[in-house]
Structure 1
Amino acid sequence: MKALVTGGAGFIGSWVVERLLREGHKVWVLDNLANGTEENIRSYMNHPRFKGFVLGDIQDKHSLEQLFANEFNVCFHLAASINVQDSIDDPETTFKNDVIGTFNVLEQCRKYDVKMVFMSTCMVYDKAIGAEGISELSPIKPASPYAGSKIAGENMVLSYYYAYGLPSVVIRPFNTYGPRQKATGEGGVVSIFTSKALQGEPLGIYGSGEQTRDLLYVEDCARFVVAAGLSESVNGQIVNAGLGQDITINELAAKICEDPSLIKHIKHIHPQSEIPKLLCDSRKAKRLLGWEPQVSLEEGLMKMKDWMASQL
C-alpha cells in the first residue's frame, strides 16, 4: 500500500514509518520538524520503499494538495502540537495545528478517498475508576486546550466517516515511551527520568507522585497504529492501546533511579490538567485487531536505558 505519515519524523511517527517499511508498504513522510528531527528517519531514506520526505506543514493547503496527488491508500495523521503546558500558554497554536490542520488533511483524504488514522491521546479521558481501567466508553474530560483540540479533531474525523463514508479510525494510545523520545521540556516521563538518572541528576516528580500512568513501549504502539490503518474492522471506531497495567510516578522513579536521594518532589506546573489514574482497557484492540502489547515494562525500561546510554 501507499502510506503517508504526517509527523513521520517525530518520536512515534518514525517508528510507524519503520513498521510500514518492514511490512512492505511504500511510505511518504510530511513533517515541519517542530517536534521531530530528520535524524529520526535518516536511516530509512535510502530504503527502496521510502518514497519521500516533505518538509511541510499541515496548515499549508497547497503543500497538502501537491502531496496527496500521489494517491495514497492510507494517511497516518500524527502531526500535532503535543505539549499540555504549551496549549495552556498558547491555545491558538494548538487549535490551529490539531483542529484546523486536521481539517486540512481530512479534506485531502476526502478528495482522494484515503483512509484516515487519527492519532489522539489518552489525555482526553477522565481518571480511571476501578481495576478494569479506561475503555473507549469511559468519560472524557477536556482538561486542557490540548485535550479539547484532540477531542475536536476526533469528532471531525468521525463526522467524515458518517457524512461521507470516508474510511477512518480514531486511536488513543496511552503513555508511549522508548528510543527517540525527547528528554527535554514535556518529553515523556520515562525519557526524562532515564536521562537524568544516567547523568546522576535529580529526578523531579510533580506533586505527590501518586498519579499513575499506563506505559506502552513505542514498538508496540507502532504495531497498533499500523494495524489500525490496514484493517477495515476498526473503521468508524475509537480504539485504545496500552500495556494494561499502571504504575505510580513514585514507583517508576524508584525503578529507574538506584539512588533514592536523587528523587525530589516539586510543584506541579499544571495540576488542573493532571489525570490522577491512567489505566488502559485494550480489549477492543485485541478483539478487532488481534493486537496485544508484547514488551513488558521492565524490558521496555531496559531498552530505553540502553538506547539513552548509547546517546551520551
Structure 2
Amino acid sequence: MKALVTGGAGFIGSWVVEQLLQDGHEVWVLDNLSNGSEDNLNSSVGQSGFKGFVRGDIKDNHVLEQLFANGFAVCYHLAASINVQDSIDDPKTTFDNDVVGTFNVLENCRKHRVKMVFMSTCMVYDRATGAAGIDETSPIKPASPYAGSKIAGENMVLSYFFAYGLPGAVIRPFNTYGPRQKASGEGGVVSIFTNKALRGEPLNIYGSGEQTRDLLYVEDCARFVVAAGLDDSVNGQIINAGLGRDISINDLAVKICGNESQIRHVDHIHPQSEIPKLLCNSQKAKTLLNWEPRVSLEDGLLKIRAWMKGN
C-alpha cells in the first residue's frame, strides 16, 4: 500500500511512519517542520519502503497536487496546529492550519479517491461523568479554538464520506505520550514532568491538579492510527483510543518525580479550556479494529524516562 502521512515528522506522525514501514507499506511524508523535526525520521529514512520526505505546507495546493500524483491508497492526516493555549491566543493560525489545511488535503483525496484518516483529539469532549468513560456518543464541548477547529475538520471528513462516498475515518486518541514528544510548552504533561524531574526542577501544575488524563503510549497510538487506515469497517465512523484508566495530574506528578516537595501549583493560564476528567472508552476500537493498548502507564513512564536520559 502507498500511504501519505501529513505531519509525519512530528511526535505521533513519526511513529505512524515507523509502524507503516514495519508493516511493509510504502510511505511518503509531508511536514513543514513547525512542530516536527527531520531527526524524528532518522530510523525510517533509508528503509526500502520510505519513499521521500517533502518539506511543505498543507495550505500549499501546488505541493499537495504534486504529492498526490504518486497514487496513494490512504492519507493519514496528522498535520495540524496542536497547542490549546496558542489557539486561544492566536485562533486564526489554528483555523488556517486545522480547517483550511484539512480542506485542501480532503480535496486532493477526493480528486484522487484516497481514503483519509483524520487525526482529531479527545479535547473535543466534555468531561467524563461515569465509570464507563467517554465513548464516541458522549457530549462534545469545544472549549478552545483548537477543539473547535478539530470538530470542523471532523465534520468535513464525514461530509465527504456521505456526499461523495469518499472513504474516511475520524480518530480521537486520548492524551498520547512517549519518546520524541517535546518537553516544552506544546509538549505533553508526561514529557514536561519527566524532563523537569530528571533536571531536579520544580514540576508546575496548573490549577488544583485534580483534573485527570487518560494517557496512551505512543506506540499503541500508532498501531491504532495505522489500523484505521486499513479497515473499511471504520469508514464514516468516529473512533476513540485510550488506556481506559485515568490519573490525576497530582498523582501523575508524584509518580514521575517521587518527591511531593518538588511539586508546585500555579495559576492556570487559560482555565476555561481545562477538561476536569478525561477517561476513554475504547470499546468501539476493540470491536471494529481488534485494537487494545499493550503498554501500561507504569511501563510507559519507564520507557520515556529511559529515552530522555539517553537523549
Instruction: Give the TM-score taking structure 1 as reference length.
Output: 0.99
Residue of structure 2 equivalent to 1:214: 214
> For residues 42 and 60 of structure 1, what CA distance do their matches in structure 2 show?
26
> For residues 142 and 260 of structure 1, what CA distance do their matches in structure 2 show?
33
Name the amino acid aligned to 1:116: M
Residue 178 of structure 1 pairs with residue 178 of structure 2:
yes
Deviation by residue 1:57-116 (Cα, 9 ceiling, x = unmatched): 000000000000001000000000000111011100000000000000000000000000
> For residues 43 and 257 of structure 1, what CA distance do their matches in structure 2 show?
30
Residue of structure 2 equivalent to 1:75: 75
Moved over 2 A (4+): none
TM-superposed CA distance for 1:43, in Å, is 2.3
Q: What is the root-mean-square deviation in Å for CA atoms of aligned residues?
A: 0.4
In structure 1, stretches of 5+ residues that fail to align are none
Deviation by residue 1:214-251 (Cα, 9 ceiling, x = unmatched): 00000000000000000001000000000000000000
Residue of structure 1 equivalent to 2:100: 100
Secondary structure of the structure 2 residue equivalent to 1:240: strand
TM-superposed CA distance for 1:139, in Å, is 0.3
Name the amino acid aligned to 1:82: I
> For residues 22 and 211 of structure 2, what CA distance do their matches in structure 1 show?
37
Residue 43 of structure 1 pairs with residue 58 of structure 2:
no
TM-superposed CA distance for 1:259, in Å, is 1.9
Secondary structure of the structure 2 residue equivalent to 1:39: helix
TM-superposed CA distance for 1:186, in Å, is 2.7
Deviation by residue 1:24-75 (Cα, 9 ceiling, x = unmatched): 0000000000000000002211111100000000000000000000010000
> For residues 4 and 43 of structure 2, what CA distance do their matches in structure 1 show?
18
TM-superposed CA distance for 1:14, in Å, is 0.2
> For residues 46 and 257 of structure 2, what CA distance do their matches in structure 1 show?
38
In structure 2, stretches of 5+ residues that fail to align are none
> For residues 289 and 258 of structure 2, what CA distance do their matches in structure 1 show?
38
TM-superposed CA distance for 1:300, in Å, is 0.3
Residue of structure 1 equivalent to 2:23: 23
Residue 110 of structure 1 pairs with residue 110 of structure 2:
yes
Residue of structure 2 equivalent to 1:204: 204
Residue of structure 2 equivalent to 1:152: 152
> For residues 96 and 77 of structure 2, what CA distance do their matches in structure 1 show?
15
> For residues 121 and 74 of structure 1, what CA distance do their matches in structure 2 show?
20
Deviation by residue 1:266-296 (Cα, 9 ceiling, x = unmatched): 0101100000000000000000000000000
Name the amino acid aligned to 1:260: E
Name the amino acid aligned to 1:294: R
Name the amino acid aligned to 1:157: V
Secondary structure of the structure 2 residue equivalent to 1:43: coil
> For residues 241 and 270 of structure 2, what CA distance do their matches in structure 1 show?
25
Residue of structure 2 equivalent to 1:309: 309
> For residues 71 and 42 of structure 2, what CA distance do their matches in structure 1 show?
24
Deviation by residue 1:150-169 (Cα, 9 ceiling, x = unmatched): 00000000000000000000
Residue of structure 1 equivalent to 2:34: 34
Identity of counterpart residues, as a percentage? 78
Residue of structure 2 equivalent to 1:276: 276
Q: Between Structure 1 and Structure 2, how many residues are aligned? A: 311
Residue of structure 2 equivalent to 1:4: 4
Residue of structure 1 equivalent to 2:290: 290
Secondary structure of the structure 2 residue equivalent to 1:214: strand
> For residues 202 and 285 of structure 1, what CA distance do their matches in structure 2 show?
38
